[in-house]
Amino acid sequence: MRGNSYIWKSSLTHSSNATTLAYASLSILFIFQCTNYTLILHNLFTLILSGMAKNTVTPFLFLLLLTFSICVAATIHHPISDSHRSAASELFASTDGSFPSLEASYEALRVFDVLGIEKKSHVSKATCQKVLENLKPSSPLKDLYYSLKVNGILKCKVDGKVYKQIALRLKATVKDASTLLDMHYLIGSLILIKDQDSNVDVLLVDADETFHSIKALSQSDGRWRYSSDNPESSTYAAGLALEALAGVISLASSEIDQSKVNTVKNDILKLFDTIEKYEDGTFYFDEKFVGGHEHQGSLSTTSSVVRGITAFAAAISGKINLPSNKILGLAKFILGIGIPGDAKDLFNQVESLAFLESNRVSIPLILSLPETVYSLTKKDQLKVSVNTALGSAAPPLAVKLVRAFSTGAKDSAVIESKELQYDKKSGFHVLDTFPKNVNVGVYNFVFEIVLHNSDSEKDYATGGQIHVPIYVTGNIEVSNAEIAVLDSDHGSVETLKALDLAGNDVVSLSANHLQKLRLSFQLKTPHGHVFKPHQAFLKLRHETKVEHIFVVGTTGKKFEIILDFLGLVEKLFYLSGKYDIELTVGDAVMENSFLRLLGHIELDFPEAPEKAARPPPPPVDSYSRYGPKAEIAHIFRVPEKRPPLNLSLAFMGLILLPFVGFLIGLLRLGVNLKNFPGSTVPATFAILFQLGIGAVLLLYVLFWLKLDLFTTLKTLGLLGALLLFVGHRTLSHIASTSAKLKSA
């Protein structure tokens, strides 16, 4: 499934199946070839406009986007550019010139310094004040370390006595340091003082002992522990340890035992044995230590190791024999991050590249192309540049195009052993014109960097042969396009019309189920060769919006498709009427991919049998649920006729009549208030008892007028409990009073 050989061979007549295979084909094509983004989007939108995307299944659209992101990730590594400078200005922006910590201040200033961004004057005043506040012997080691780091860039006005006091304290503390981080801050601070004031004595008398203390934390695989109490080892810690050991060598009052230095060299080689690798030759270090300290990502771990190795290589005599392809692979990994969106990641990226730029092991050279898509129509020139990772000029060299071959024919080279011409004005190595045998398509160009000075090969890493995918595009000529209606029995042409696929003319045809439709056309490249696109679809869309898609196959030098309506009546659901005819032709290297309405055809089919398949329901627009809903019209029931007002009033009077009778009965019998309690407490209970009875009667009235049954029962339960309590107290008082009267 490579090159132009990938063509669908079967006819697709159901729209959902065609869509599924179309997206699957595009996904496979993009994975294998990772074509130019503009051309990918062009073909994708052509597919969507052709109506396929309306009925597609979501996973295939996701797969298409995923494969597109894979192509984006597979771009050529480019050195640091102005885009990184713009990102640094935004990520390290500070309105008042201050940063949350000295560490953040150093990271911003370091990035500005390496990338050549003039920001020092903006942050100097506020940051220098913070530096002077922390440059004290009593300051924490981390704050002291980053204060000296910042001061090394800003050159704040620091009294020489302060350096001496700090140096005395640090030298006295080195013996007592028990953790790798403390060692790193202590040794690093002494190195910074040495660089900032040469009059201060920072030499370590017991450097061998300090070297041994740090080396004691190393492991057999080249990694380091953070402390002797912690059994876990860390790749990130290895970078800190190597940086600290480099500092000890620089601060030693006498030369460190060479056997110890050689042991550390072996540790570095062991560390490189654990390096991770991608298939494209990219190398990186990953953190495996997860306990006790914050987990470091691949970028920060790789950056730490790069700092440690380059610092150690600069401090010792001789070189460390590290494979140059791995050093180049580390640079490719760091550049492959792109432009980080996090300030910490950008700092790690820029600083590690700055160390690789000036290291004594091997300086990586990055081969990059401003474009990987070249047009035969526009006669574009192939341009190649070679720079260091930070974009600095490379030593004198030549770029040789070893060979170039089509991805579909690796054994047949179209270009062999050609040296690119160097343009001093632009700084590019240029291939003026493509040979005649380079046609539109996808090619693999193999480059090689050849240094003019053989001694430079020891100092620079070129990476050997570098494979770069190149996409050669062009305008494809469409010719001899015609559409015809054929007689099914004899194959004779009943209607034949020429098509101008570059114009807007449309044709109008008619046919019945006993006839055929034939479409044919030819495609040629700018060099006159037959061109076979990856996508060639013919679509019939019924006036009811039911669609059918067919793949246009190739027969010799032309594309042709014949639709036999007699064999397609079932798949077309016996739907007579008007069909739109659309042709879609597209390819990653075709600059004039198109979606073209050819015209209309009126089909006359017989009536559908009783058991024939029904056409699928029209696709539902997934966004329609967010639109306005249909208005609901509701007619309420007409209210029932009410009785006359006089009748209602008479009925209410009858209901109140028993209550009136009750009052009259009380008057006739006489109300006896002689036994009503006279003392305060019993009288209160008696009053509450009477009020409770009245409240129950009022509740009955409210239930009749307003309340529902559940609310009434709930309220009645509360009133009942109150009546039970106060009624019992009242009756108990009356009973005791009556008993006393009888006994008297």
Query: What is the predicted pLDDT for the residue at 617?
Result: 83
Of the pLDDT bands very low, low, confident and very high (cuts 50, 70, 90), residue 118 is: confident
The amino acid that residue 161 corresponds to is: K
Give me the phi and psi of 415, to 5 degrees please.
-140, 140
Sheet architecture: strand order including 547-551: 507-512, 594-604, 577-586, 535-542, 547-551
User: In 3-state terms, what secondary structure has residue 615?
Assistant: coil
Interior angle at CA 70, CA 64 and CA 75, nearest 5 = 135
User: In 3-state terms, what secondary structure has residue 203?
Assistant: coil
Query: What is the predicted pLDDT for the residue at 387?
Result: 95
Q: 675 vs 85, which has greater pLDDT? A: 85
Query: What is the predicted pLDDT for the residue at 669?
Result: 75
Cβ atoms 389, 80 nearer than 8 A: yes
The least confident of 4-8, 20-24, 66-70 is: 4-8
Q: Averaged over 398-425, what is the pLDDT?
A: 92
Cβ atoms 332, 275 nearer than 8 A: no
Query: What is the predicted pLDDT for the residue at 587?
Result: 94
Q: pLDDT for 314-323, tens place per residue?
A: 999 888 999 9
Q: Averaged over 444-453, what is the pLDDT?
A: 95
Query: What is the predicted pLDDT for the residue at 468?
Result: 94
Query: What is the predicted pLDDT for the residue at 455?
Result: 83
372 closest CA partner among 444, 306, 454? 444
Query: What is the predicted pLDDT for the residue at 33?
Result: 40
170 closest CA partner among 192, 141, 150? 141
Q: Residue 633: is its pLDDT beyond 90?
A: no
User: In 3-state terms, what secondary structure has residue 41?
Assistant: helix
Cβ atoms 302, 351 nearer than 8 A: no
Distinct helix (H) and strand (E) counts, the chain = 19, 24
CA–CA dist 76, 640 (Å, integer): 83
Alpha-carbon torsion angle 728, 731, 737, 739, nearest 10: -100
Q: Could you tell me which CATH number the domain at 366-473 has? A: 2.60.40
Cβ atoms 444, 434 nearer than 8 A: no
The least confident of 16-20, 316-320, 568-572, 693-697 is: 16-20
Query: What is the predicted pLDDT for the residue at 30?
Result: 43
CA–CA dist 350, 355 (Å, integer): 9
The three state secondary structure string of 90-136 is: HHCCCCCCCCCCHHHHHHHHHHHHHHCCCCHHHHHHHHHHHHHHHCC
Query: What is the predicted pLDDT for the residue at 12?
Result: 36
Query: What is the predicted pLDDT for the residue at 42?
Result: 42
324-to-277, 321, 331, 436 alpha-carbon distances in Å: 14, 9, 11, 37
The least confident of 267-271, 439-443, 565-569, 679-683 is: 679-683
Query: What is the predicted pLDDT for the residue at 336?
Result: 92
Dihedral (CA of 71, 76, 80, 81) sign: negative
CA–CA dist 269, 260 (Å, integer): 15
- Same fold for the domain at 366-473 and the one at 477-616? yes
Of the pLDDT bands very low, low, confident and very high (cuts 50, 70, 90), residue 591 is: very high
Contacts of 241 (CB under 8 A, 6+ apart): 180, 183, 184, 214, 217, 218, 224, 308
Query: What is the predicted pLDDT for the residue at 655?
Result: 86
Cβ atoms 580, 540 nearer than 8 A: yes
Q: Residue 484: is its pLDDT beyond 90?
A: yes
Q: pLDDT for 158-216, tens place per residue?
A: 998 999 999 999 999 998 898 999 999 999 999 999 999 999 999 998 999 999 999 99
Q: Could you tell me which CATH number the domain at 477-616 has? A: 2.60.40
Q: Residue 74: is its pLDDT beyond 60?
A: no
Of the pLDDT bands very low, low, confident and very high (cuts 50, 70, 90), residue 595 is: very high
The three state secondary structure string of 396-420 is: CEEEEEEEEEECCEEEEEEEEEEEC
Of the pLDDT bands very low, low, confident and very high (cuts 50, 70, 90), residue 96 is: low
Q: pLDDT for 543-559, tens place per residue?
A: 998 999 999 999 888 99
Helix-strand-coil split of the chain, %, nearest 5? 45, 20, 35
Contacts of 585 (CB under 8 A, 6+ apart): 478, 523, 533, 535, 536, 537, 593, 594, 596
CA–CA dist 380, 187 (Å, integer): 55
Beta 460-461 vs 363-368: how paired, if at all? Answer: parallel
* Tokens describing residue 9: 């061979």
Cα 668 vs. chain centroid, distance in angstroms?
95
Query: What is the predicted pLDDT for the residue at 73?
Result: 37
Cα 231 vs. chain centroid, distance in angstroms?
36
Q: Averaged over 525-537, what is the pLDDT?
A: 93
Contacts of 220 (CB under 8 A, 6+ apart): 270
User: In 3-state terms, what secondary structure has residue 554?
Assistant: strand
CA–CA dist 663, 654 (Å, integer): 15
Q: 91 vs 61, which has greater pLDDT? A: 91
3 closest CA partner among 584, 534, 675? 534
Q: Averaged over 259-263, what is the pLDDT?
A: 94
Query: What is the predicted pLDDT for the residue at 252?
Result: 94
Residue pointed to by tokens 């071959």: 405
Residue pointed to by tokens 């008082």: 733
Ordered by start, the domain boundaries in the chain are 205-364, 366-473, 477-616, 679-743
Q: Residue 618: is its pLDDT beyond 80?
A: no
Cβ atoms 418, 448 nearer than 8 A: no
| Mean pLDDT score across all residues of the chain | 85
Q: Averaged over 504-528, what is the pLDDT?
A: 93
Residue pointed to by tokens 């011409």: 421
Q: Which region, left, alpha or beta, applies to residue 99 given φ > 0 means left and ψ of -120 to 50 means alpha?
A: beta
CA–CA dist 455, 458 (Å, integer): 6
Work out the percent of the chain whose per-residue pLDDT is above 90. Answer: 59
CA–CA dist 503, 737 (Å, integer): 118
Q: Averaged over 396-400, what is the pLDDT?
A: 95
Of the pLDDT bands very low, low, confident and very high (cuts 50, 70, 90), residue 2 is: very low
The structure's pTM equals 0.71
Q: Residue 218: is its pLDDT beyond 50?
A: yes
Q: pLDDT for 654-708, tens place per residue?
A: 888 888 888 788 778 776 666 678 788 888 888 898 899 889 989 988 998 888 9
Q: Averaged over 727-733, what is the pLDDT?
A: 87
The least confident of 47-51, 330-334, 562-566, 669-673 is: 47-51
321-to-302, 459, 709 alpha-carbon distances in Å: 19, 12, 94
Query: What is the predicted pLDDT for the residue at 126?
Result: 80
The least confident of 48-52, 258-262, 345-349, 634-638 is: 48-52
Q: Residue 43: is its pLDDT beyond 60?
A: no
